[in-house]
């Protein structure tokens, strides 16, 4: 099983890595992992597992034991951030009603083959920096590629002569009744 691993650093940068490491299976949430277990390139590093999510998008919680899915009664924390969508039709000033708790589905705290994404936090750095190992990630856009080019003069288009069409004159028809006269005069006023 391929794990999508997100490694965060103290500087606030995140590096992405895909690994088929079997050494991560059986580790628990908030446990420490050495860099060798993640990838042989990360020798000397030490990470903490901060979060995981499975193939259906359920995140793992410390409250649920084992590897399977379970229901947990949550207040405002991981897994529940704001009020649910169907909690009344009137707008509220607070998005967090006092004392609201919901029972939500979550994954257990032990990493299994169902887990797809693993989030790691760097505790100890190795000999080689992560920015050197992943040079294509988190690049700062350089201004060398943005050289100013001289403005090109627009090419002149040949001027086309407009042909004038003869104006057609409208002839007023004779109005026979007074009702038709009222309608025509009303239309002309507008």
DSSP string, 82-142: S--TTS-SS--S-SS-TT--EEEEEE-SB--TTEEEEEEEEEE--SS-HHHH-TTSSPPPP
Q: Which residues of the chain have pLDDT under 70?
A: 79, 81-97, 138-179, 181, 184-185, 188-190
Report strand pairing: 3-8 vs 14-19: antiparallel
- Check residue 181 and give its pLDDT: 65
pLDDT of residue 150: 47
- Give whole-number Cα distances, 5 to 21, 31, 138, 183, 184, in Å: 11, 15, 15, 79, 79
Phi, psi for 181 (deg, rounded to 5): -65, -40
What's the predicted TM-score (pTM) here? 0.64
According to DSSP, the β-strands at 115-124 and 3-8 are: parallel
């Amino acid at each position: 099983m391929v794990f999508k691993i997100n490694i965060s650093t103290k500087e606030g940068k995140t590096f992405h890595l895909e690994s088929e490491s079997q050494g991560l299976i059986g580790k628990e949430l908030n446990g420490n992992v050495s860099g060798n277990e993640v990838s042989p390139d990360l020798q000397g590093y030490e990470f903490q597992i901060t979060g995981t999510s499975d193939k259906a998008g359920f995140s793992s919680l410390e409250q649920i034991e084992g590897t399977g899915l379970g229901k947990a009664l949550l207040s405002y924390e991981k897994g529940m951030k704001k009020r649910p969508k169907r909690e009344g039709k009137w707008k509220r000033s607070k998005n967090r009603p006092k004392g609201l708790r919901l029972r939500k589905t979550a994954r257990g705290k032990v990493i299994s083959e169902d887990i797809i994404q693993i989030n790691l936090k760097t505790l100890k750095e190795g000999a080689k920096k992560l920015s050197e190992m992943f040079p294509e990630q988190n690049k700062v856009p350089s201004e060398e590629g943005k050289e100013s080019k001289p403005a090109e003069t627009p090419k002149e288009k040949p001027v086309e002569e407009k042909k004038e069409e003869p104006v057609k004159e409208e002839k007023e028809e004779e109005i026979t009744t007074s009702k038709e006269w009222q309608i025509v005069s009303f239309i002309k006023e507008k």
